[in-house]
Structure 1
Amino acid sequence: MATDESKTPPPTAAEVDEPDEWDKRIFSTGCADENAKMTDCYFEKRDWRACTAEMERFKECWQKNGNEERTSSKGA
């Protein structure tokens, strides 16, 4: 029995290369490289405890670039 799958065309190269909203937010922090290294570490090791150096570098970058207000709770 044949399946009737949706024939959605694959994304074009321009669509794949275009930054999405998440990418734009990460790039605007100034810590995109540190974030990539941190997530790559987790993807490779599957354990955040094995990525403490990468997390620390991301945290230092986050603070150096003044991003604390992005994650602070307002009115808490």
Structure 2
Amino acid sequence: LSHSVPQPTPPVSAPQEDEDPLDARIARTGCLEQHRQLQECMAERQDWRQCQEQVRAFGACMARRQQRQRGPGPARPTD
């Protein structure tokens, strides 16, 4: 009987200090670019009211992701 020698596992790299856990979560949604644009606008203008285009784009992206996660729902009657 031959026994295989276990291979050493590579060390797990520690998360980079500058990596934001929120950014990592948003990256998984596919909406990271919209989020970054919103952050840049807020950093420049420091007033979310002046960043409505970016707020809407990020919100729409997140809403599309939620719809994809839920799958097609029951058809809703239109008025």
Name the TM-score class by shorter chain: 0.5 to 0.7
TM-score, with structure 2 as normaliser: 0.57
Q: More helix by proportion, 1 or 2?
A: 1
Q: Does 1:26 pair with 2:26?
A: yes
Structure 1 segments of 4+ aligned residues over 6 angstroms from their partners: none
> Residue in 1 aligned with 2:36?
36
Q: How does 1:6-25 map to 2 (within 5 A)?
A: 16=16, 19-25=19-25
Q: How does 1:43-58 map to 2 (within 5 A)?
A: 43-58=43-58
Task: Give 1 or 2 for the bigger CA radius of gyration.
Answer: 2
For structure 2, which runs of at least 5 residues remain unmatched after alignment?
A: 1-14, 70-79
For structure 1, which runs of at least 5 residues remain unmatched after alignment?
A: 1-14, 70-76
